[in-house]
Amino acid sequence: MEEDASVLIVGGMLVLKKYHCPVEITVEVLGGKWKTRILWELYHKNCHFSDLRRAIPDITKKMLTQCLRELEQNNLVIRMEKDGKVIRVEYALSEYGVKTIPLVTYMSEWGSNHFTHIIESSKNI
């Protein structure tokens, strides 16, 4: 990516924004406390909203709704309505969203290694 290159990004609407590095785009799309965790849960199985709430108990309903909408707008998550007596909504990774899993997996491994590193470092203090 060239310095100061402009990129179109989907986030509810098309936005023209200048990025200086591809990492900026990644952080904008996947950044925050919850999005990678949601992707991780959906990688393991499709989930209803309530399943995600149980799997991620510290997230508020409002924040989960916002994150799911943003992930859907960026084509990473699919929202599927199931007809029945009550309409049930299920979320799944899109084909494009599955491509984030190697990154999220690496982040998980790095987090585990970092935790071990911090524990081991603190023993030397």
Beta strands in 3-61 (DSSP E): 5-10, 14-19, 47-48
How much is the average pLDDT of 4-11?
52
Residues 84 and 52 occupy one common structural domain = yes
Residue 113 forms part of a structural domain = no
Q: What is the pLDDT of residue 13?
A: 62
pLDDT of amino acid 6: 53
DSSP type of residue 35: H
Helix (H) or strand (E) holding 36: helix 35-44
* Whether residue 3 is found in the same domain as residue 39: no
Residue 54: per-residue pLDDT? 97
CATH assignment of the domain containing 80: 1.10.10.10
Same domain membership, residue 50 and residue 10: no
* Domain with 80 in it: 33-100
What is the spatial distance between Cα 23 and Cα 103, in angstroms, rounded to a whole number? Answer: 12
Mean pLDDT of the chain: 88
